[in-house]
Amino acid sequence: MDSVLEVKGLTKRFADFTAVDDLSFSVPAGSVYGFLGQNGAGKSTTIRMLLTLIEPTAGEILIFGKPLASNRKAVLSKLGAIVEKPDLYKYLNGLEHLRIFSRLSGICPQEAKLKDLLSLVGLGQRLTSRVGTYSQGMRQRLALACALVNDPDLLILDEPTNGLDPQGIADMRQLILQLSKEQGKTIIVSSHLLSEMEMIADQVLIIDKGKKIVEASMETLVQQAASLELQQQPQRRFFLEAYFLSLTTA
């Protein structure tokens, strides 16, 4: 399977602190790629470099086979993202947000397409409601719709379920799977919950203190956890989390 994203020796230093340390990994086309690590592991810093929000200290990023540094505009035109807590305007409605993000992306889609996009993320009945009336889950859905206005081939979602209740988490999970399986999009999802990634990810990368600890298929990761007899925990999700904690530090 071809790779949509290749990272080679990626490093980011802030003065004497190394946030990302010689990180290399590859994201297969069409996969849901789980990017895991505890808080402060370097996930958000890595994602910000992938989105050109900050510059690497060292290393190379290839997206769609092109060096990101010299092909920024072309690459970003085919990429969508949610970075941490999305910035939304509470006095605007959902449809107005999509119009703004479309203009920022340099595209002029038909109004019907924007409405279809809101329906896709479950906001078809609230497209003219102000965002100030939205729940946190609805705001995350709108952020996802904004990330999809340019019909990207690659989606990067930084902790997309943060702050959501169980129903909101389940809804976001279903949307990610739908975009992957039905539309063939490659999706990178950062998280600190291995048990959640088990339900959606094909491949997993675990980092700790900016370094790669494990990169493997989810199936392989589950087998590794079971081989350590952590399945003695009362439920499967607990032995997966115990394995994750055994690989990382607080």
pLDDT reported for residue 13 = 96
| Beta-sheet strand order (sheet of 211-217) | 79-82, 154-158, 186-191, 32-36, 203-208, 211-217
Alpha helical stretches, state H, 77-227: 94-104, 111-120, 136-147, 166-181, 194-198, 218-227
Provide the pLDDT for residue 166: 86
Rounded-to-integer distance, Cα 29 and Cα 86, Å:
26
Whole-structure pTM value: 0.90
Distance CA 140, CA 162 (A): 9
User: Among all chains, which residue has been given the structure tokens 């904004």?
Assistant: 146
The DSSP letter of residue 17 is E
Confidence (pLDDT) at 230: 46
pLDDT number for residue 167: 86
pLDDT < 70 regions, the chain = 1, 227-240, 249-250
Rounded-to-10 torsion of CA 72, 184, 3, 201 = 110
| Residue 102 structure tokens | 């479309």
The string of pLDDT tens digits covering residues 53-84 is 999 999 999 999 999 999 999 999 999 999 87
Domain ranges of the chain: 3-216
In one-letter notation, the amino acid at residue 9 is G
Under 8 Å CB-to-CB from 54, ≥6 apart: which residues? 12, 45, 48
CATH fold for domain 3-216 = Rossmann fold (3.40.50)
Specify the residue for token string 């959501």: 164
Biggest distance spanned by C-alpha atoms of the chain: 55
